[in-house]
């Protein structure tokens, strides 16, 4: 079990922790495709070439390895590259990205997310800690969090311990005073422990612990956190 007496703040992963991310990305991709079809049909047609987005992403990462953690930058540059290949003006990339980005913020929370966040926020400072580019304020969860730590801001992504330290610094606490909660065994649970935090693995699907290390405490629903941390 976790040592609740040491916890002074909680960091939470976002994608697949507070909402399922796959349908969000599908929706954002479809929204971008529709916009391109309306405004830049040549780019739209090229974008739908099988495997092209993956190849373009690989090329962008090769050109900018120092930005591989910044998903918004990679997406914008991918769009720009395809526009150039299609013979369209690359200056449209910013507008196209904003269409994608706005759709990417349209999430459907897991049914236990909002109630858990509100309950925990009444007792602990909550910090979002994500490799992705979801924006908790645009999503409508800004009032639950005191800070949001993203890989694009820090310059590195989980499992790098520096992003966990950045969250601890933002909270004004030592890592051992923070509990991290996330769905990924390696990037969240194990990495947080290696960075000196306590960790809980959110294992909604009941998967076996995939690493050779001893498993951390695990939960199958976020609501369990309320039972552990806010006993009646």
Query: Which parts of 51-160 fold into alpha helices (H)?
Result: 52-63, 71-86, 93-104, 113-121, 136-139, 151-154
For the segment 150-171, the average pLDDT, to the nearest whole number, is 97
**What is the reported pLDDT for 232?**
65
**Is a pLDDT exceeding 70 seen at residue 30?**
yes
Pair 14, 28 in one domain: no
Count the neighbouring beta carbons within 10 Å of the beta carbon of residue 22: 9
- Chain CA centroid to CA 64, Å: 21
For the segment 105-113, the average pLDDT, to the nearest whole number, is 98
For the segment 166-177, the average pLDDT, to the nearest whole number, is 98
d(CA 157, CA 162): 8
Q: Confirm if 154 and 173 have CB atoms less than 8 A apart.
A: no
Q: How close are the terminal C-alpha atoms of the chain, in Å?
A: 18
Reported as a pLDDT band with limits 50, 70 and 90, residue 9 is very high
2 against 199, higher pLDDT: 199
Catalytic residue among 13, 15, 70, 183: 13
**What is the reported pLDDT for 1?**
77
Domain assignment of residue 87, given as a range: 22-104
For the segment 145-160, the average pLDDT, to the nearest whole number, is 96
Number of structural domains found in the chain: 2
176 against 53, higher pLDDT: 176
Cβ partners under 8 Å of residue 167, min gap 6: 11, 127, 129, 147, 149, 178
End position of a domain, from candidates 104, 119, 137: 104
**Domain CATH code at residue 10:** 3.40.50.1000
Q: Confirm if 230 and 124 have CB atoms less than 8 A apart.
A: no
232 against 221, higher pLDDT: 221
Among residues 56, 30, 28, 61, the alpha carbon closest in space to that of 44 is found at 30
For the segment 146-174, the average pLDDT, to the nearest whole number, is 97
End position of a domain, from candidates 44, 79, 104: 104
**pLDDT tens-digit profile of 62-99?**
999 999 999 999 999 999 999 999 999 999 999 999 99
Pair 30, 41 in one domain: yes
End position of a domain, from candidates 45, 72, 104: 104
Q: CA angle at residue 223 from 215 to 199, to 5 degrees?
A: 30
Torsion of CA 1, 224, 15, 153, to 10 degrees: -60
**What is the reported pLDDT for 2?**
87
Pair 142, 154 in one domain: yes
Known active-site residue 13: yes
**What is the reported pLDDT for 231?**
75
**Is a pLDDT exceeding 70 seen at residue 138?**
yes
Full-model pTM: 0.94
Pair 113, 161 in one domain: yes
b/e map 128-166, b = 16+ CB within 10 Å: bbbbbbbbbeebebeebbebbbbbbebeebbbbbebbbb
- Bin 196: left if φ > 0, else alpha if -120 < ψ < 50, else beta: left
Torsion of CA 127, 188, 198, 172, to 10 degrees: -30
**Domain CATH code at residue 54:** 1.20.120.1600
Count the neighbouring beta carbons within 10 Å of the beta carbon of residue 225: 23
Reported as a pLDDT band with limits 50, 70 and 90, residue 214 is very high
Pair 94, 202 in one domain: no
């Amino acid at each position: 079990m976790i040592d609740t007496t040491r916890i002074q703040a909680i960091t939470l992963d976002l994608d697949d922790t507070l909402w399922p991310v796959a349908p969000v990305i599908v929706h954002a991709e479809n929204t971008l495709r529709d916009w391109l079809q309306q405004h830049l049909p040549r780019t739209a047609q090229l974008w739908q070439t099988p495997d092209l987005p993956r190849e373009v992403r690989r090329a962008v990462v090769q050109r900018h390895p120092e930005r591989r953690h910044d998903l918004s930058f990679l997406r914008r540059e991918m769009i720009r590259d395809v526009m150039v290949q299609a013979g369209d003006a690359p200056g449209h990339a910013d507008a196209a990205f904003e269409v994608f980005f706005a759709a990417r913020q349209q999430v459907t929370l897991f049914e236990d997310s909002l109630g858990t966040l509100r309950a925990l926020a009444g007792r602990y400072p909550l910090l979002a800690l994500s490799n992705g580019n979801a924006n908790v304020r645009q999503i409508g969860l800004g009032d639950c969090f005191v800070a949001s730590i993203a890989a694009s801001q820090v310059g590195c992504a989980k499992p790098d311990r520096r992003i966990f330290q950045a969250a601890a610094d933002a909270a004004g606490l030592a890592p051992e005073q923070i509990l991290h909660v996330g769905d990924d065994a390696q990037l969240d649970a194990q990495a947080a422990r290696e960075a000196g935090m306590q960790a809980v693995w959110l294992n909604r699907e009941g998967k076996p612990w995939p690493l050779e290390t001893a498993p951390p405490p695990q939960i199958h629903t976020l609501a369990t956190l309320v039972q552990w941390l806010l006993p009646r």
